[in-house]
Amino acid sequence: MSEKPLISARGLSVGFKIGSGMFSKSILKAVDNVSLDIEKGSFFGLVGESGSGKTTLGRAFLKAVPITGGHAAYNDDEVSYDLGTLTGPALKDYRKRAQLIFQDPYAALSPRMTVRDIIAEPLEVMGLTKSREETDARVREIAAKCRLNLEHLRRFPHAFSGGQRQRISIARALVSRPNFIVADESVAALDVSIQADVLNLLKDIQREMGLTFLFISHDLSVVAHTCDHLAVMYLGRLVETAPTRTLFKAPRHPYTKALFSAIPSLDPDDRRGGQKLTGEIPSPTNQPPGCKFHTRCPNVIDRCRVEEPTLENPGDGHSVSCHRWRELLAVPAG
């Protein structure tokens, strides 16, 4: 693709000051030196365990947390923004173009507002419509796209099930006609039978409206089915990124391999489960030296304990951050 990516990050870091004492101040690096491109029209998946920094990275792209290092840029057909320095009217304009769908549809909708008002609120706040009629028309248009019953617009959220509520949240995120959507664990709170419905809806809408999605999830089978491109995070670093199929067929990073083998198999006779990781993700305030994964890595060597690997792109679009990935290619996963 010769076109510029919609979102592009170079050495992006997000740090938080922790501790309030005069001498005990330290920086927690939730996202550390991340470089990645999200192409226009892609469904980009971000996976990792809790504490890996995936939510923080998503929020940095939305400018909901301050970027403390590196660069992030947004480019669509009309505008180009440097997200690090965006302020004032340009930031307001960016809010129209980038939107968030939350995880919990029970907490994200105000119980005191009707569905119509919930969906219309972004239009009114951003001043995107000139009259009530225009607002209503926009609300009805997007509600229909999200397969909501138009007669339900006058009801309150409590009358709806989890799946319906999530469709309302989606409609609210889409009503300002954004280009870029961050969906943070947007199906994690839903039952399996409903989850597939919401995923199909997101895919349909993405295709129909030409949107770009950053889909954050801890559920690998969900991202495998919805995303065309994946990035795996561990302790604030990007450890591997590749097209979904490539990543599932031939993961290069030992962490990615371990994540895949930890997915419980639906086959009751396949209970060996492959290579299991021992231990847990270290605390981000007390990060190990060298490769961040070395404390749990089954393939660790002395070099990993002292020298941090960089994200290496061998030219096939499948980048990995591991000292030993080339020699490990010969070893089958699990």
Partner 1 sequence: MTVLIDVQNLTLKFRTDEGLITAVDDVSFTIDKGEVMGLVGESGSGKSVTAKALMHLNAKNAVYAPESKILLHTDAGVVDVLKLRTAKELKVARGGAISMIFQEPMASFAPAITIGSQMVEQLLIHGDMTKARAKEISIEMLDRVGISDPSKRFDQYAFELSGGMRQRAMIAMALSTKPSLLIADEPTTALDVTIQAQVIDLMKDLVAEFHMGILFITHDLGVIAQTADKVSVMYLGKVIETGPVRDVIRHAKHPYTQGLLAALPKLDDLDAPLTPVAGDIPSPLERPPGCVFHTRCPQIIGDVCKAKLPQRVQLDANHSVACHLYSEGGKA
Residues at the interface with partner 1 (CB under 8 A)? 49-50, 161-164, 191-197, 199-200, 218, 220-222, 224-225, 244-245, 248, 258-269, 271, 273, 276-278, 280-281
Report the amino acid identity of residue 313.
N
CB of residue 200 to partner 1, shortest distance in Å: 6
CB atoms within 10 A of CB 323: 20
Q: How far apart are CA 257 and CA 45, in angstroms?
A: 17
CB atoms within 10 A of CB 167: 24
Nearer to partner 1, 24 or 193 (CB): 193
Backbone angles phi, psi at 35, to 5 degrees: -120, 125
CB of residue 184 to partner 1, shortest distance in Å: 16
Q: How far is CA 126 from the centre of its chain?
A: 24
CB of residue 196 to partner 1, shortest distance in Å: 4
**Among 230, 254, 239, which Cα is nearest to 327's?**
254
Nearer to partner 1, 97 or 147 (CB): 147
Tokens of 191: 């039952």
Nearer to partner 1, 16 or 106 (CB): 106
Is residue 122 helix, strand or coil?
helix
CB of residue 43 to partner 1, shortest distance in Å: 13
CB of residue 142 to partner 1, shortest distance in Å: 20
**Among 44, 39, 101, 46, which Cα is nearest to 76's?**
39
Nearer to partner 1, 266 or 330 (CB): 266
Nearer to partner 1, 4 or 218 (CB): 218
Is residue 296 helix, strand or coil?
coil
Tokens of 258: 């371990």
Nearer to partner 1, 200 or 313 (CB): 200
CB of residue 143 to partner 1, shortest distance in Å: 17
